[in-house]
């Protein structure tokens, strides 16, 4: 017999059985920590989204039942995104302020028929603009006008709060919008409506399938650059500044987006703020695992679970993920 190493510290003792591994698990992913993004369509039938396998745009008539199903699985929150007809899109995104638009009807429908689920309503103009940007362009037409856009976002937030959303979720990255929205909500009696701020949202190439889903995808075959308002993926310190500003302006929950390629940012924001922190595992993160699994190259369920675990371990309290429903089903079954 070979002589044992002179090794008194042996970490493998803590990994020796499923039981001890389970006891010592530091991080968990539970359905209550997940928020399901839902796409809503004007159409009458489910519309599968090719680049988001398993995800469809949902017609208004099926939306509340879908939310009730999620609730049964232990999911408490949904993030709503409308896909409107191209004919309703304009340069200013005026449809965003139509009090009877699809997003507002969707909120009212869910609040009426599935009142317990928490609605995070996206605040940005990209589902409504013909050019696909999150805001209104300046007179030269070469950039998004910050302050003009904030005026629109404030009005949109008021309509959204009136419709019954629990949280407005500005995803536009304009400067000063969180403070302006908070002030307007308070001045109009919506002190109970929260703000989930997309604080550190990066100009990422991982948003492609989402843009297919809301139909804002490409301009002359190219993915639209939002680099003049979304963050530079190279920047860490700047993300902390963004988080501080949104917190000071009255955000209730901060968010980092995307998640998987930005785990260091999640950790940084976690350590710099005591606010609850969300992370958005975006469409491209979901699509890449599905695509590799379809080829037989990755185990979908195992990589899904590991990717979510990593985001929680980095410091996110909540995760917006297209995997929410599937994860919760498997969670209930085990």
Q: Which is nearer to ligand PBG, 68 or 215 (CB)?
A: 215
Query: Which residues belong to the active site?
Result: 201, 257
Strand partners, 319: 34, 279
Nearest Cα to 167, choosing from 105, 46, 88, 252?
252
| CB 330 to ligand PBG: min, Å | 21
In contact, 39 and 57? CB cutoff 8 Å: yes
Nearest Cα to 254, choosing from 202, 192, 312, 316?
316
Q: Residues interacting with ligand PBG, by CB under 6 A? A: 122, 124, 126, 134, 171, 207, 210-211, 226, 282-283
| CB 87 to ligand PBG: min, Å | 21
Which residues neighbour 170 within 8 Å (Cβ) at sequence distance 6 or greater?
123, 124, 153, 157, 177, 178, 181, 195, 197, 198
Q: Which is nearer to ligand PBG, 120 or 207 (CB)?
A: 207
* SS3 per residue for 284-319: HHHHHHHHHHHCCCCCHHHHHHHHHHHHHHHCCCEE
Q: Which is nearer to ligand PBG, 65 or 205 (CB)?
A: 205
Q: Which is nearer to ligand PBG, 28 or 171 (CB)?
A: 171
211: how many CB neighbours lie within 10 A of its CB?
A: 17
| CB 80 to ligand PBG: min, Å | 11
Strand partners, 40: 58, 82
Residue 19 CA, distance from chain mean position? 35
| CB 230 to ligand PBG: min, Å | 6
| CB 171 to ligand PBG: min, Å | 4
Q: Which is nearer to ligand PBG, 122 or 246 (CB)?
A: 122
Take residue 82 and report the two structure tokens written for it.
């409308």
């Amino acid at each position: 017999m070979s002589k044992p190493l002179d090794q008194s510290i042996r970490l493998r003792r803590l990994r020796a059985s499923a039981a001890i591994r389970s006891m010592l698990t530091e991080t968990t992913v539970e359905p209550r920590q997940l928020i399901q993004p839902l796409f809503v369509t004007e159409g009458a039938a489910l519309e599968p989204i090719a680049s988001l396998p398993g995800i469809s745009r949902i017609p208004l008539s099926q939306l509340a039942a879908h939310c009730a199903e999620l609730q049964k699985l232990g999911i408490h929150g949904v993030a709503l995104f409308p896909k409107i007809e191209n004919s309703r899109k304009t340069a200013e995104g005026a449809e965003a302020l139509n009090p009877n638009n699809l997003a507002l009807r969707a909120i009212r429908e869910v609040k009426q028929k599935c009142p317990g689920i928490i609605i995070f309503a996206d605040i940005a103009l990209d589902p409504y603009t013909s050019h696909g940007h999150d805001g209104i362009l300046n007179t030269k037409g070469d950039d998004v006008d910050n302050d003009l856009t904030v005026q629109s976002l404030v009005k949109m937030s008021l309509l959204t709060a009136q419709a019954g959303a629990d949280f407005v979720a500005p995803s536009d990255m304009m400067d000063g919008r969180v403070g302006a929205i908070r002030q307007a909500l308070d001045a109009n009696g919506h002190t109970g409506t929260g703000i989930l701020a997309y604080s550190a949202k990066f100009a990422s190439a991982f948003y492609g399938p989402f843009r297919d889903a809301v139909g804002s995808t490409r301009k002359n075959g190219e993915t639209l650059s939002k680099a003049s308002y979304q963050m530079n993926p190279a920047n860490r310190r700047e993300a902390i500044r963004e988080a501080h500003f949104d917190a000071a302006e009255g955000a209730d929950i901060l968010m980092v987006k995307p998640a998987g390629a930005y785990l260091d940012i999640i950790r940084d924001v976690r350590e710099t703020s005591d606010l609850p922190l969300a992370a958005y595992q975006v469409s491209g993160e979901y699509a890449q695992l599905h695509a590799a699994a379809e080829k037989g190259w990755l185990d979908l369920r195992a990589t899904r679970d590991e990717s979510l675990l990593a985001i929680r371990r980095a410091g996110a309290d909540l995760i917006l993920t297209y995997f929410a429903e599937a994860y919760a089903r498997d969670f209930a079954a085990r």
